[in-house]
Amino acid sequence: MKNCQLHWDDFIKNSSGPAQQLEIQQSRIGYLEQLINRQDEKIVNLSKESESLVKEPFENDLADLKLRISKIDLLITEKETSLKNSTHQIDKLRQVSNLLDSSLNEKRTHLQSLLGKQSSFESLERSILNIDNKKEIWFKTNEIDKRHRLSEKIQVSLVGKLL
């Protein structure tokens, strides 16, 4: 039983890491998606601004406007590049997230299997010891429950693999 508890503790310790990584990756994905949305809004605003600049009838400001447009175009190009990089990074994070999801699901399946085995072993132990409530009360009143039972002293070694 103690060995089972140690395995359980190890499992919990090992399975919490992927869950934390999954949360971190999902948080990063959310953050990068927010950045993409903000960049899209900036691109739209800059496009509108560049369109309004082009439509202004002021001939004297034409050189300044062309300079601003070229800066805006450069900024748009930079933002598009940044957007592509962010999209690529999001795709990578999604892949990692999917891997972590599958790993977590495998560990959950393994946990359920172990819990089923534990339940079977506990049921088998109760049937071997053949203890019911009346016997347990009798053991306690006669202070026999504090002593080791023969069935608790017996150690069974398994040969082969448990399925």
pLDDT at residue number 150: 63
160: helix, strand or coil: coil
Q: Provide DSSP, 37-66.
A: HHHHHHHHHHHHHHHHHHH---STTHHHHH
pLDDT at residue number 163: 47
Percentages of the chain per state (helix, strand, coil), in multiples of 5? 85, 0, 15
Low-confidence ranges of the chain (pLDDT < 70): 1, 53-61, 128-133, 135, 144-163
pTM of the model: 0.36
Q: For residues 94 and 43, what is the distance between their CA atoms, to the nearest angstrom?
A: 25
pLDDT at residue number 141: 81
pLDDT at residue number 128: 66
Tokens of 30: 């959310």
